[in-house]
Structures are given as structure tokens and as C-alpha cells.
Amino acid sequence: MNLFRDLRLGLKNLMLHKLRSLLAILGVVFGVASVIAMLAIGEGAKGEVLERIHRLGSRLIFMDTTKPADGERGDTTRARMSVYGLKYSDAQRMSASFAALTRVVPVKFMRKTGRVLERVLEVRAVGTTPGWFELVKRPLLAGRALSTLDEEQAANVAVLTEQGARRLLTGGEGVGSALRIGTEVFTVTGIVQSAGGSKGDLKTPDQDTDAYIPLSSARRRFGDIMSRGSGRTQDSELVELHQIIAEVDAENNVEAVAAGLGHLLKTAHRDSDYEVRVPLALLRQAEETQRTFNIVLGSIAGVSLLVGGIGIMNIMLASVTERTREIGIRRAIGATRTQIVRQFLAETVALSGLGGILGVGLGMLIPGLVTQFSKMPTQITPGSVALAFGISAGVGIVFGLYPAARAAALDPIAALRHD
Amino acid sequence: MEWAIELENVERHYPMGNEVVHALRGINLRMERGSFWAVMGPSGSGKSTLLNILGCLDRPGRGRFLLAGHETGRLPDDALSAMRLKHLGFIFQSFHLIPQLTVAENIALPLHYLGWEAKKSFKRAAELAERVGLGDRLRHRPSELSGGQQQRAAIARALANDPQVLLADEPTGNLDSATGEQIMGLIEELHRQGKTIIMVTHEPNLAARASLRLHLRDGLVESIEGEKA
Ligand SMILES: Nc1ncnc2c1ncn2[C@@H]1O[C@H](COP(=O)(O)OP(=O)(O)OP(=O)(O)O)[C@@H](O)[C@H]1O
Ligand SMILES: [Mg+2]
């Protein structure tokens, strides 16, 4: 009966300690989990931006025509023509003024109706130079891309995207077919793949319904004026170029060249009828965001780890008091102070290490959930797991030192007499 | 003559507020290797204080103490630990086994601090347990043993580092007389095997079984009796 009670008490005591230990390491668990989650989310966001920039080309600078805001004036009855946007001369001046530019590609967009026999597709006619295909690298699926000769001769040739071709050339026609763009007849010389579309704030320069034609042909066949009218209003616009894509020789020069191009455009344009986009700058932006994010989550992790460390210290101080007699026994047998310190430090590190393991487990779940619910990409690196683990061990050492030192400082005689 | 223990004018004072307790007031004593001493005296006479000094758990306030020829008075704490580990074995009145460790682990504890590898020290612990009649209790916890068994485990632990000197503070004080008798038998056997044994006891019939009896009174040696000192 007595023995039975003792056994049960011992068992209960053990369970109590299990719970107590678990509660003590909760802070470390959450601290470590948020470190892992923070790094995974940050890494994922950076990875995504990097991938997107890579798809766009990290050495590219995009300049787009934008319509100035002050265009509308109460008068809606008279025919009006607004002239704005990037000029052919802008593109020429750019390649002349910047040695660091390896390519300058002018682009003209027109919404046109494309026809092959009776099949119709609204296309984006892209008037550009052969350089386009070197900046927007997409695999050629059939035929050939635009050539310098096409440009010089203002040839009526067009390159379709895979998606466009699939809808227009369904009758088995291929390269060489006649494609009517608006009122003009072009010959399809090639088909390229397209990465068309946009992901987040980065639009790809190509779209699925593109029909690429030489810039010279676009000018000659369609001109620079576009009319858009209905009823009594008749608006027309004169836009020479809709986009200029510039390629810089090295990533390091991108930002300086972008600033130079901005300056060049500013002196040449009275209105702000253009916009300069630098994909590489998004990386800086992403890094900035990541830094902010890291500060926020890092503080949460820091507070959790602090609380966790204090929790562990508390439990270890209680443990030292409970085990005073044990410490006295070990000292009497011949354990040195250092050995006592080592013993208690090892226990604390084991405890916080356990918190670290649970935290890593939890931390590895969080990024998965984040990805599932917010579509935010996440990436757990081995380095972050090692870091989180190191942090938890560090917490064990830092917060275990004081209890261990207390244990080692006990006078063996007094410790032996303790009950 | 080879001395296990030499004390010269050993004093120990405890400051208590404004007063000073004179626990030991000048002890002169030499104990031969392999001798068996009983330390007696009324409560508060300084028996435990003396034993703490002999056990290198405490240093004399004044005077000299030599254990196996080494003076301990000025040794740093780590060196005192090393002295205990090398020369001494303790047997306590309340056994002082570590409750969360098994019998084998308790016995092997000194070997752990001596840096023995686990396998070898378990083997030695098993031999020692066999020697004190606990060969079948190796994996038990102290709480699963009777008082006599616990004290035998404690004696096995005290023997693990093969010390020259065994210090016992009322080793049978917590045991009934039959069990106490078994423990006394074990201690006598260790004496026959050549250990130096110093045992504090209140019981004259147990003290009678030692070869020498040291009587303390008020921190001084009152008398020594037994085979010639
Ligand atoms: N840590 C201490 N602080 C103050 N006084 C102490 C301390 N330890 C012992 N004393 C005092 O020293 C004297 C001797 O004590 P000691 O414990 O050596 O006696 P003892 O002979 O072992 O007695 P008992 O037979 O009761 O165990 C006593 O007066 C005691 O109060
Ligand atoms: Mg005493």
C-alpha cells in the first residue's frame, strides 16, 4: 500500500515535470518557429522576385509611353488630336549617347484585327526591330524571326506567337501563309513561343496575341496616327513609339544608365508622357520589404526567445533547488564546479534543443500553410534550420549559465544537509 | 609508520552574528593507514565538523591537515575535489543515493568523474554490487530498495574509486539493529581488506568493534582508547 502510493506519487511527479518542461520550452518553440517561418517567407519572396526579374532580363530597362493626365478639356464636340509619347528620335539618341547600352529596341503597339482565311483574331501588332527577339528570348517554334533585311525593306512579314498561330492557322497552314493585319496582307515567316501575361507587378513584354512585324513596315503601312471615334467626338492620337527596351551591358550599370535615360527623356519631353521601369530595382524593393518583414518577425522571434529563455531559466532554477542534495552528493564524490556547471548546462541545452526541434517542426509547417492560403511562395533552406537550431542551443547556454552557476556555487556540506 | 591522516592544531570556527562558535579548538591526531577508528562524543562536540575536514569538504580554519601526505589547507576547490575523487569514500547516515539513477549508475558515479567509459564502469559497478550482495538489483531505483540495501549500494559506490580512506557518519543511524549489524559486518570486512575507516557513531557497542575510539568534547580530543595510539 505504502509502496504503491510512493510509486504513484513518483509517476505523478514525473508527469508534472513533463508538463512543466513542455510549458517552459513553449517560448523557444514559437521563437524558433517564427525564425524558420520568417526566413522561409523572406527567401521565397526574394526567390520569386529573382525568378521574375530573370524572366524579364535583369539588364533591361523599359520605357513606356503614358498618356498625360491633362488631356481632357471640356470641349467634346470638336475633333482633336493629341500628340504624346516616346519618339523615334528618343531611341536613336539613346543608342548614340550611352556606351553601356548594348541594344535599344523601339516598339510600336497597334490593336488590329488579324485574319487568315475566314478565321479572325484580335491581335496586338508589334512593330519592332530584330533586336526584340534577342531581348525577349523565346524559343522559335517554326520558320524564322524578323531580320534586318525585313526592316530595311519594310517587308510585309509577320511572326506569330504559338497561341495566335493555334487560333489562326487551324487549317494546317503554316509558315508562309497569308495573314491579313487590318487592311494589309503579311506573310507569316515564323512562330515563337510566348511567356505572355503578367505576374504581380511585372508584366512580360510579350503577350499571347502578338504579331511581330518590322517597325519600318508598321510605320509605312499603318502610320503613327490612330483614330478612335464614335458619334460626334472624333479623337485621334499621334504616338510614335509605345515602348523602348534598352539593354545594359552589366547589371552593375543598370541603375546608373536608368538614371541617365530618365534624364535624357526629361530634357526631350515637356510633359511626363513616359515611364521608366527597371526590373532590377524591384529587387531592391523586394529586399527592402524583406528587411522590414525580418525586423517585424525578428522582433517577435526575439521576444519569444527571450520569454522562452526566461521560462527555461526559471525551470532550471527550480530544478537546482530541488536537486540540491544531488549536487551535494556529486560534489562529495569528487565532481568539480566545472563539471556541475557542465551537467546543468547540458540539461538546459537539451531542454531548449527539444524546444528547437519542436520549433523547427512547427516552423516548417507554417510556410506550407502560408503558401496554401496566400499563394505566397516560401522556401525553407537548410541554413535557416541550422540557424534556428543554433539559436535555440544558444538560448539554452545563455539562460542556463546562471542556474548552472548557482548549482556549482553551492557549498557541498550545506547541499548534503539540504532536504 | 605510514599515516593516512595527520592533524596539527586543527581549529574550525563558525562566525555566528557577533559570536563565534568554536567547533574544533585544536585537534592533534594521527591515523595510521589501515586503522579503524570510531569517533564518539556528545552532540555538538565537533564530530561532523572533523569528518568534513577529513573528507576535504571543508578546510581547517587554523592548523594543518594532511591526507595521505598531502596538505589540503591551501588547495583550491578543484584540487580538493580531486583529492576526494582519488583518496576518499563517503558513507552517509541517510545513504544519499541519487533517486533518479539506478543502483548501477549510482555505484558507477565516481567512475564517471574519473573519466571511465560507460561499459567498463558498468562492469565494475556490477562487481561491486555483487560484493555487497546487490548483484540482482543493478537496474533498480534507490526507492525500490530497503534501507539496508540502499546503504549497501552507497558502500559499493564509496568503494568504486578504490579509496584509501572511508568516512562514515553514523552509517547505521537510520537502520534497525539487524540491518545495522549487516552493514557493520560489511565495514569490518573492508577494514580487514586494508581500508582506513573512520566512523562517527553514538553507539558504544558499535564503537567497541573499532580498533580505536576517539572521544571528542567541546571541539577537543578528550581521549583515545584502544590498541596503542
Ligand atoms: N555551518 C555551521 N555554521 C555554524 N555553526 C556550525 C555549523 N556547523 C556546525 N556548527 C556548530 O559547530 C558545533 C559542532 O557541530 P558538529 O556538527 O560538528 O557536531 P556533532 O558532533 O556532529 O553533533 P551531532 O552528534 O549532533 O551530529 C556545533 O555547536 C554546531 O552548532
Ligand atoms: Mg554530526
B144-171 pLDDT, tens digit per residue, is 999 999 999 999 999 999 999 999 999 9
Kindly state if the Cβ of B48 falls inside 6 Å of ligand 1: yes
Above 90 in pLDDT, residue A18?
Answer: no
Mean pLDDT of A83-98: 91
Above 80 in pLDDT, residue B37?
Answer: yes
Assign A198 a pLDDT band (cuts: 50, 70, 90).
low
Kindly state if the Cβ of B54 falls inside 6 Å of ligand 1: no
Give dist(CA A258, CA A276) in Å, integer.
Answer: 8
Domains of chain A: which residue ranges?
2-52+285-417, 67-272
- Find the B46 Cα to ligand 1 centroid distance in Å: 6
Quote the pLDDT of residue A73.
46
Quote the pLDDT of residue A230.
60
Q: Which three cell numbers stand for residue A239?
A: 504616338
Atom 28 in ligand 1: which residue has the minimum CA distance? B44
Q: Which of B78, B92, B110 sits opposite A336 (nearest CB)?
A: B78
Assign A354 a pLDDT band (cuts: 50, 70, 90).
confident
Site of grid cell 546562471 = A402
Q: Which residues of B touch A325 (CB under 8 A)?
A: 96
Q: Which of B57, B95, B159 to mutate to test the interface with A (most CBs of A within 10 A)?
A: B57
Quote the pLDDT of residue A231.
57
Quote the pLDDT of residue A8.
45
Assign A79 a pLDDT band (cuts: 50, 70, 90).
low
Q: What is B35-59+82-226's CATH superfamily?
A: P-loop containing nucleotide triphosphate hydrolases (3.40.50.300)
- Give the per-residue SS3 of chain A: CHHHHHHHHHHHHHHHHHHHHHHHHHHHHHHHHHHHHHHHHHHHHHHHHHHHHHHHCCCEEEEEECCCHHHCCCCCCCCEEEECCECHHHHHHHHHHCCCEEEEEEEEEEEEEEEECCEEEEEEEEEECCCHHHHCCCCEEEECCCCHHHHHHCCCEEEEEHHHHHHHCCCCCCCCCEEEECCEEEEEEEEECCCCCEECCEECCCCCCEEEEEHHHHHHHHCCEEEEEECCEEEEEECCECEEEEEECCHHHHHHHHHHHHHHHHHHCCCCCEEEECHHHHHHHHHHHHHHHHHHHHHHHHHHHHHHHHHHHHHHHHHHHHCHHHHHHHHHHCCCHHHHHHHHHHHHHHHHHHHHHHHHHHHHHHHHHHHHHHCCCCCCCHHHHHHHHHHHHHHHHHHHHHHHHHHHHCCHHHHHHCC
Domains of chain B: which residue ranges?
35-59+82-226
Q: What is the pTM of this model?
A: 0.72
Contact A334 B86 (CB under 8 A): yes
Quote the pLDDT of residue B77.
94
CA distance A339 to chain B (A): 8
Look at A168-177, A179-188, A204-213, A326-335 and tell me which has the smallest mean pLDDT.
A168-177
Look at A214-228, B36-50, B54-68, B140-154 and tell me which has the smallest mean pLDDT.
A214-228
Quote the pLDDT of residue A210.
92
CB B112, CB B125: distance < 8 Å: no
ipTM attached to this prediction: 0.96
Q: What is the rounded average pLDDT for all residues in chain B? A: 94
Contact B55 A332 (CB under 8 A): yes
Kindly state if the Cβ of B16 falls inside 6 Å of ligand 1: yes
Contact A329 B96 (CB under 8 A): yes
Above 80 in pLDDT, residue A16?
Answer: no
Q: Which residues of A touch B98 (CB under 8 A)?
A: 326, 329-330
Contact B82 A331 (CB under 8 A): no
Contact B90 A6 (CB under 8 A): no
Quote the pLDDT of residue A13.
41
Atom 2 in ligand 1: which residue has the minimum CA distance? B14
CA distance A305 to chain B (A): 30
Quote the pLDDT of residue A12.
42
Instruction: Tell me the C-alpha to C-alpha distance, in Å, between residue A98 and each of A130, A253, B72, B224.
Output: 20, 11, 86, 109
Determine how many CB atoms are found less than 10 A away from the CB of residue B99. 12
Angle at A27 between CA A295 and CA A391, to 5 degrees: 60
Kindly state if the Cβ of B44 falls inside 6 Å of ligand 1: yes
